[in-house]
Amino acid sequence: MSPTAAAERAPVTADDLDLAVRLSVEALRGAPTSAWDGKAGTLEWTCWETAEHLADDLFAYAVQLGPRTPPLDREVAFGCESRRPGGPANSVHANRAAGPDGLLEVLEASGALLIAMVRTASPDVRSHHLFGVSDPEGFAAMGIVETLVHTHDLAGGLGLPWEPPAALCSRVLARLFRDTPAGAEPWPALLWSTGRADLPGRPRPGTWRWYGAPLA
């Protein structure tokens, strides 16, 4: 992205993240209890595991911004564990006895942690991510992408409709993705950019990444 384009783009904000998490939780509340142990779309994880993974992503991004001196070469040293072979390795797990309502409460609470950190952290803060050292805006954008695309995975497994606002998708595409096809609608373009959908004349990429480094 050129310096001019970077200056003209709409920034990703804590309010954007708040909207993404709220819309996700509202959409997922419509799922029948019996559906949560089925597969989440094309993933190998169950819907329950995928929602826990999403909550864990939001928690992990929040805590990366938490230390007085955030680490630049590693994740904050929380322990992670997978509860079955092939399942996601998380620091965050929901109490199964609390059912889907408890699971969504955990998701909402993890989102609130990241929202609060993005609101309060200095824009000059930098912290580690696998795809590059990033700033609070970058972690907000990452949290939104995780929320939108994993809710897509969950909606596929739970039989729910899901299409987030185009403007929200546009802002995170502009912040994190460099190879979005020109002219593509924002939500299909975000699914393509994360390897989840084809676009006309462009099969979905076999591998993908975002670029979290602060923009000039």
Average pLDDT for 125-129: 98
Question: Has residue 52 got a pLDDT over 60?
Answer: yes
Structure token pair of residue 66:
């938490």
pTM of the model: 0.95
Q: Report residue 197's pLDDT band, with 50, 70 and 90 as the boundaries.
A: very high
For residue 29, what are the contacts with CB-CB under 8 A and spacing of at least 6? 104
Q: What is the pLDDT of residue 200?
A: 93
Q: What is the pLDDT of residue 179?
A: 87
Q: What is the pLDDT of residue 98?
A: 97
Range with the poorest average pLDDT among 99-108, 135-144, 150-159, 200-209: 200-209
Q: What is the pLDDT of residue 158?
A: 97
Render 109-166 in DSSP notation, one character per residue: HHHHHHHHHHHHS-TT--B--TT--B-HHHHHHHHHHHHHHHHHHHHHHHT------H
Question: Has residue 5 got a pLDDT over 80?
Answer: no
Q: What is the pLDDT of residue 216?
A: 74
Q: Report residue 9's pLDDT band, with 50, 70 and 90 as the boundaries.
A: confident
